[in-house]
Amino acid sequence: MKAIIIYFTGTYNTLHLVNKIKSRFADLFKEINVFSIDSDSKSIDLHNYDLIIFSYPIYAFNMPNIFFNYIKKLKLPKSKDYIIAKQSGEPLSLNDSSSYPLIHLIKKAKGNIKNEYHFLYPYNIHFRYDDNFIKELFNYNDKLLDILIYEYKNNIIRKIKYNPFYAFNSFIFKIQRLGGPINSKFYKVNYTKCIHCNKCLINCPTKNIILINDKYKFNTKCVMCMRCSFYCPKDAIEIGLFKSWKVNGKYDLNKIEESNSLDGHYLKNHTSKFFKLFPKKIKKIEDLHSKYFNLRTKVNQNDSRPRLNCRGFLFFHI
């Protein structure tokens, strides 16, 4: 049995998720390959894989164009299993429609869509998340990952609802239309801070940054992934029209995950409008998690293998 995870990441949150998925599938698959999309990516042959997982960050209720354009060119094999593992900063249901085009492609290819899962990671644009909040999101992600593995092992397939209003919203907010042709022109480097390390230029996934006469120029291929400004060691890049939403500097995700000093109970003390979005989503996953895992304990307390072997049709989205 072979699996592949195909992903795009801007600021490496998706990569963090992909590594977790990979390690959780390790005992189920003889071989798991991981493939990252950037503008130089060559086409890959998917016919030898039994399971194909797509993973991406959500940009204004859409998947990254660079990712979808790549998938469109692939020949998706029929009768194979597919899972979508998307991730983003907040749990709004409006984000659900980001995967509609991908689901359409998989269905057209007669693939078996197992399920899709929405993981939560810190914002890389808008504002910075507190480490303890990230810890709380990781607790949610761990449960969701348990669910993903359990549902795959037990062939539990949930119906994916189509919501035309969400689809319309995704169309309207396609921020990437602005990214390359318009916003790129307003990117600026502050040369009083810049140390000419070339990190931005080397790491841009679309090779959108070039150096002319010692000045960095941003072309029109920007996908707004934020990698250049987020990882600039001197916080020297302004992100054009969205400059007030800039977040600079990496989150140390592994350190946060392993930390014993963070209790992961951030939301109980933060009840402003934005944070109110989270508890309902978290509760839904906790309930499903305890439903699956309590059931497993009841079925056979001495046997760690899940025994539920049915096709469940649960009419809600996670």
Q: Binding residues for ligand SF4, per CB under 6 A?
A: 189, 194-200, 204-206, 208-209, 218, 222-228, 232-234, 236-237
Q: Which of 18, 58, 134, 194 binds ligand FMN (CB under 6 A)?
A: 58
Please state, in angstroms and rounded to a whole number, the distance separating the CA atoms of residues 7 and 25.
16
| β-pair partners for 82 | 52, 113
Binding flag, residue 253, ligand FMN (CB under 6 A):
no
Please state, in angstroms and rounded to a whole number, the distance separating the CA atoms of residues 22 and 2.
12
Binding flag, residue 292, ligand FMN (CB under 6 A):
no
CB nearer ligand FMN, residue 95 or residue 208: 95
Binding flag, residue 61, ligand FMN (CB under 6 A):
yes
CB nearer ligand FMN, residue 65 or residue 124: 124
CB nearer ligand SF4, residue 214 or residue 303: 214
Q: Which one of ligand SF4, ligand FMN, none is in contact with 125 (Cβ closer than 5 to 8 A by kind)?
A: ligand FMN
Which residues does 142 contact at the CB level (< 8 Å), separation at least 6?
Answer: none
Number of residues that bind ligand FMN (CB under 6 A): 25
Residues 107-126 that bind ligand FMN (CB under 6 A): 121-125
Q: Are 2 and 29 in contact (CB under 8 A)?
A: yes
Q: Which stretch binds ligand FMN (CB under 6 A): 32-40, 87-95, 136-144, 276-284?
A: 87-95
- Sheet holding 112-120: strands in order across? 31-36, 2-7, 51-57, 81-88, 112-120
Binding flag, residue 59, ligand FMN (CB under 6 A):
yes
Binding flag, residue 240, ligand FMN (CB under 6 A):
no
Site string for ligand FMN, 88-107 (x = CB under 6 A): xxx----x------------
Q: Are 91 and 123 in contact (CB under 8 A)?
A: no
Residue length of the chain? 318
Q: Which one of ligand FMN, ligand SF4, none is in contact with 208 (Cβ closer than 5 to 8 A by kind)?
A: ligand SF4
| β-pair partners for 83 | 53, 115
Binding flag, residue 53, ligand FMN (CB under 6 A):
no
Q: Which of 87, 132, 141, 184 binds ligand FMN (CB under 6 A)?
A: 87
Residues 212-231 that bind ligand FMN (CB under 6 A): 224-226
Binding site for ligand FMN (CB under 6 A): 9-14, 57-61, 87-90, 95, 121-125, 175, 224-226
